[in-house]
Amino acid sequence: MPQIRANWGTLARRRAYSEVMKKILFLSLTLLPVAHAQETNAIPATPAPITQPSVSQPPVLQPPVSPAPAAPSIAPARLKLSAPVGTNVELRSVTTSRLTVANVQVSARPGGQVTPAQLEEVRRSLQQGISAMNSAGTTTVNGKVFFKVASRDAAGNTTLVSSVVQALPAIPGSPSFSKAQNLTLRVTQSVAPDGQLTGLKIDSDQPQMNAMLKTLTPAKLQQLSKDLSGNSAALYSVPLQVGQPHSVTLSLDMQDLMKSLVGAFAGQEAGQLFQNFKSSPLTVTTTTTYQGLNAAGQHVFDTSSQYAAWQFSLTSSDARMPMTIRAELLKVQSGGTSAYTPAGLPVTLSQKTNMSMKMTMDIEDVRVNLTMNIEQGQSMQPR
């Protein structure tokens, strides 16, 4: 199997495979949906009194009594975006990521022809790359998030602009991100008095990113915005009922969305892999619980997410890197806390996500089974 040795025997090739796999897993975590629920409470009507006849007097006919009208339903209070037009908030964001690989098994692919010596060579080369990946430690990316109350119309609809400035490392093989740079994304949407969101727009200062955004439908833009804006705007529709959980289940079309995102972020090798990307929908149930006011008088929300089974597969269309990958989501633990001012603007946010995936890779005549673990953390604090 000289081709196996050619593919795996150089440090550059091992790094290429490692970088492709990291891009695949990190892009898979792009979408973390957020709660978006509404609920109303009704006060039951008080029944009208019934007049009884006197025992010692002849019964007196009473005119029929109409039941009292039902009291109107009272909707619970919600977080209001009442900050004056022109108000700006700047937060410092820190995102940490750590990827590790475990339970590595190397064998011959069914029907493949490979000797034990060749398998050992692949195992040794692969283990060197995995050891380097596991020892790389935690990657930290710093950024800024800006929130601006841009306008408010006579009906009380408020335009909120969220700008994310993220430091991105260089991506080998990517024409747009060949060197480290800052990427700015702006999310604009209108918040109605009842918390409903309309008029979503997303744009970027990076031309290729803007071209990708124009290909997304409004539904996919909505999915993307929930991650980019730190899940900030969706909380305006959550009732302020202390301790009462509010859940929503969303099914995300990861197949189309991942294909769109990879064109903007990934390098050439990962882009070729995603040409044949197939995915089941990713179903996520997110629960948000209002915790009341903290000592500073800020509204506090806790959020957690439960993920249903999810699978994806992809086949490389690059003859120089023949590869088929199948992956299955094993578990995800995701949750966080956020705080908002009485005027409805975010103050702090923290979120942690731990994910494990079982992966099978067929590379020429070799099959590799492994488990990939990703730990991610995100925090936003006032500067």
How buried is 157 (Cβ within 10 angstroms: 0-12 exposed, 13-18 middle, 19+ buried)?
A: middle
- What is the sign, positive or negative, of the torsion defined by CA atoms of 211, 214, 217, 223? positive
For residue 314, give the H/E element and its range: strand 311-315
- State the average pLDDT for the chain: 76
Structure confidence at residue 91 (pLDDT)? 96
CA distance 165 to 117: 50
Would you state the structure tokens that stand for residue 206, as one six-digit string? Answer: 């990076």
pLDDT at 5 > cutoff 50:
no
CA distance 313 to 277: 6
CA distance 352 to 278: 27
CA dihedral in degrees (273, 274, 275, 279; nearest 10)?
Answer: 130
How buried is 371 (Cβ within 10 angstroms: 0-12 exposed, 13-18 middle, 19+ buried)?
A: middle
Q: How many helices (H) and strands (E) does the chain have?
A: 7, 13
In 213-281 the beta strands, taken as DSSP E runs, fall at 245-252, 277-279
| Overall size of the chain counted in residues | 383
Between 125 and 10, where is the model more confident? 125
- Cα 184-185-186 angle, rounded to 5 deg: 125
Structure confidence at residue 219 (pLDDT)? 66
CA distances, 81 to each of 149, 195, 224 (Å): 9, 8, 22
Between 49 and 145, where is the model more confident? 145
The pLDDT-based confidence of 52 (bands split at 50, 70, 90) is very low
Structure confidence at residue 23 (pLDDT)? 46
pLDDT digit string, tens, across residues 325-376: 899 999 999 999 999 999 999 999 999 999 999 999 998 889 999 999 999 9
pTM score, whole prediction:
0.74
The pLDDT-based confidence of 174 (bands split at 50, 70, 90) is low
Structure confidence at residue 330 (pLDDT)? 93
- Phi first, then psi: give them for residue 213, nearest 5 degrees: -60, -35
Residues contacting residue 296 through CB under 8 Å, at least 6 positions apart = 339
pLDDT digit string, tens, across residues 141-158: 899 999 999 999 999 999
